[in-house]
Amino acid sequence: MHIADPDYINTVFAFPYRGVTIQITSDTHLGTTIYTAWIDYATGSAVAVPKAYSRSEAIRRAKDWVIRKFKFDLAADS
């Protein structure tokens, strides 16, 4: 498993989602572009998706991670 260099992330796309910010970063490992999804929230940050092979895969998996890790009032979303 390879995570894009966390000291110098190259954010290619960031957006708010359900009260957090999802940042998609990219890097190259062994000649292949990989994407990592970072989640910034009120008390810190986390790597939600350490490795994805497309930006859309990283976004989808990051949104799934947010839904699994945080509690939401689903009635309010209706």
Note the pLDDT tens digit of each residue in 5-22.
Answer: 555 678 899 999 999 999
Asked whether residue 53 is assigned to any structural domain, the reply reads: yes
Asked whether residue 76 is assigned to any structural domain, the reply reads: no
Asked whether residue 17 is assigned to any structural domain, the reply reads: yes
Question: Which pLDDT value is given to residue 78?
Answer: 46
Closest alpha carbon to 62 in 75, 49, 77 = 49
Asked whether residue 1 is assigned to any structural domain, the reply reads: no
Q: Distance between CA 6 and CA 19 in Å, rounded?
A: 23
Asked whether residue 74 is assigned to any structural domain, the reply reads: no
Asked whether residue 54 is assigned to any structural domain, the reply reads: yes
- Domain limits at 33? 11-68
pTM over the 0.95 mark = no
Question: CB within 8 A of 16, min separation 6: which ones?
Answer: 22
Asked whether residue 21 is assigned to any structural domain, the reply reads: yes
Question: Which pLDDT value is given to residue 63?
Answer: 96
Asked whether residue 64 is assigned to any structural domain, the reply reads: yes
The Cα diameter of the chain in Å comes to: 45
Question: Which pLDDT value is given to residue 71?
Answer: 77
User: What are the pLDDT digits (tens) for 19-71?
Assistant: 999 999 998 889 999 999 999 999 999 999 999 999 999 999 999 999 999 87
